[in-house]
């Protein structure tokens, strides 16, 4: 089992995340980009689901969804979120917390264009998080869209796009024996990062 000492991680938490993400990609039997996204409902209650990390850089961590979905509505009310990525093969997890902003239209357009056509059609027709009468209704919507877009590019729906979580804290958790785990938290202060060890 690995260890995580104060002198181990890169000074930049994004560089450290890139290292761990590459190692998780090599080691994971499941999708290493899968992460829990936690938001807050208008009534203050927590709400969580799995989404996929599609990109990251020093500006933050990006995922895509329908802006009118439950999570989209929650982020419109409370534009803050928490992310958790868990890589059990490596006994590691990363926790990220911070404000959320929409990705630019250009960024969302580029990602939408890279998706498989079936995924584009699904995004175009699904009223995500809304009640529908049946599976047949969804399949009927898909069939109609496939006919409508036959021989044409599927346009990105205006209500679909990216969100970027801009981290205020990034915690790297390394499992250790006897539950004496290593937890190093990067905390943003102005333009610099402070590294702190947390008790397990």
CA of 137: how far to CAs of 125, 134, 142, in Å?
Answer: 10, 5, 9
Q: For residue 151, which phi and psi values (nearest 5 degrees)?
A: 75, 10
Contact 62, 110 (CB under 8 A): no
At residue 166's C-alpha, the angle toward residues 165 and 169, to 5°, is: 105
CA dist., res. 146 & res. 148, Å (int): 5
156: closest CA among 100, 114, 194? 114
Question: Which of 29, 135, 152, 179 is the catalytic position?
Answer: 179
Task: Look at residue 68 and give its three-state secondary structure.
Answer: coil
Catalytic site includes residue 183? no
- Positions marked catalytic: 179
């Amino acid at each position: 089992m690995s260890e995580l000492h104060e002198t181990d991680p890169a000074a930049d938490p994004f560089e450290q995340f890139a290292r761990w993400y590459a190692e998780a990609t090599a080691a994971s039997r499941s999708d290493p980009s899968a992460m829990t996204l936690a938001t807050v409902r208008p009534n203050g209650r927590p709400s969580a689901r799995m989404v996929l990390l599609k990109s990251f850089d020093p500006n933050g961590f990006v995922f895509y969804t329908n802006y009118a979905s439950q999570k989209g509505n929650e982020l419109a009310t409370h534009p803050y979120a928490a992310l958790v990525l868990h890589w059990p093969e490596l006994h590691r997890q990363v926790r990220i917390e911070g404000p959320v902003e929409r990705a630019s239209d250009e960024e969302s357009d580029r990602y939408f264009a890279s998706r498989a056509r079936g995924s584009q059609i699904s995004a175009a027709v699904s009223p995500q998080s809304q009640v529908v009468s049946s599976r047949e209704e969804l399949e009927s919507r898909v069939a109609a869209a496939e006919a409508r877009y036959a021989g044409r590019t599927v346009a990105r729906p205006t209500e679909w796009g990216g969100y970027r979580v801009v981290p205020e804290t990034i915690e790297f958790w390394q499992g250790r024996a006897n539950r004496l785990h290593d937890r190093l938290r990067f905390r943003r202060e102005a333009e610099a990062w402070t590294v702190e060890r947390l008790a397990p």
